[in-house]
């Protein structure tokens, strides 16, 4: 009995479909799921100018070598106009010192005087 072209084509299609069904259980290509989130990243709010607000939870040592291309030697030049949104002009600068050189301050602030 001679197998005709029609029978070969139908059996080839059935064999291909069975092969596809058999390999569906294997994850050859990873599936993309939009509902899963990557726990290594979070979204943070960004200010209109592109900056972000950061709250420091611990003391951090800062060594400033230059501002605007000018080297800093000795004291840091400061021009304060407001603190927490309130103008300080004429009122003085509010200062809260908790420690000096690692020693807590409970009463008076130790001050060294130059002659």
pLDDT tens for each residue of 69-84: 888 877 777 777 777 7
Q: Measured between alpha carbons, how far is 98 from 106 in angstroms, rounded to an integer?
A: 8
Report, in this order, helix, strand and coil percent for the chain, each rounded to 5. Answer: 15, 10, 75
Answer whether residue 19 is part of any domain: yes
Answer whether residue 91 is part of any domain: no
Residues 6+ apart with CB under 8 A from 83: 93, 94
The torsion region of residue 68 among left (phi > 0), alpha (psi -120 to 50) and beta comes to: left
The verdict on pTM exceeding 0.85 is no
* Predicted confidence (pLDDT) per residue in 10-60, tens digit: 999 999 999 888 887 777 777 777 765 666 777 888 889 888 888 777 877
Answer whether residue 115 is part of any domain: no
Asked whether the predicted pLDDT for residue 1 surpasses 60, the reply is no
Structural domain containing residue 26: 1-30
According to the model, what pLDDT value does residue 61 have? Answer: 79
* Band (67; pLDDT cuts 50, 70, 90): confident
Answer whether residue 89 is part of any domain: no
Residues 6+ apart with CB under 8 A from 53: 45, 47
Which residues is 71 bridged to in the sheet? Answer: 66
* Joined tokens for residue 4: 């005709």
What is the number of domains present in the chain? 1
């Amino acid at each position: 009995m001679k197998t005709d072209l029609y029978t070969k084509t139908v059996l080839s299609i059935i064999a291909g479909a069975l092969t596809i069904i058999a390999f569906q259980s294997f994850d050859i290509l990873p599936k993309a799921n939009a509902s899963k989130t990557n726990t290594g990243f979070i979204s943070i709010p960004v200010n209109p100018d592109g900056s972000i607000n950061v709250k420091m939870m611990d003391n951090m040592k800062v060594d400033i070598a230059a501002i605007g291309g000018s080297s800093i030697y000795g004291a840091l030049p400061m021009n304060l106009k407001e603190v927490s949104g309130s103008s300080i002009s004429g009122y003085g600068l509010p200062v809260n010192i908790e420690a000096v050189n690692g020693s807590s301050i409970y009463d008076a602030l130790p001050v060294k005087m130059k002659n």
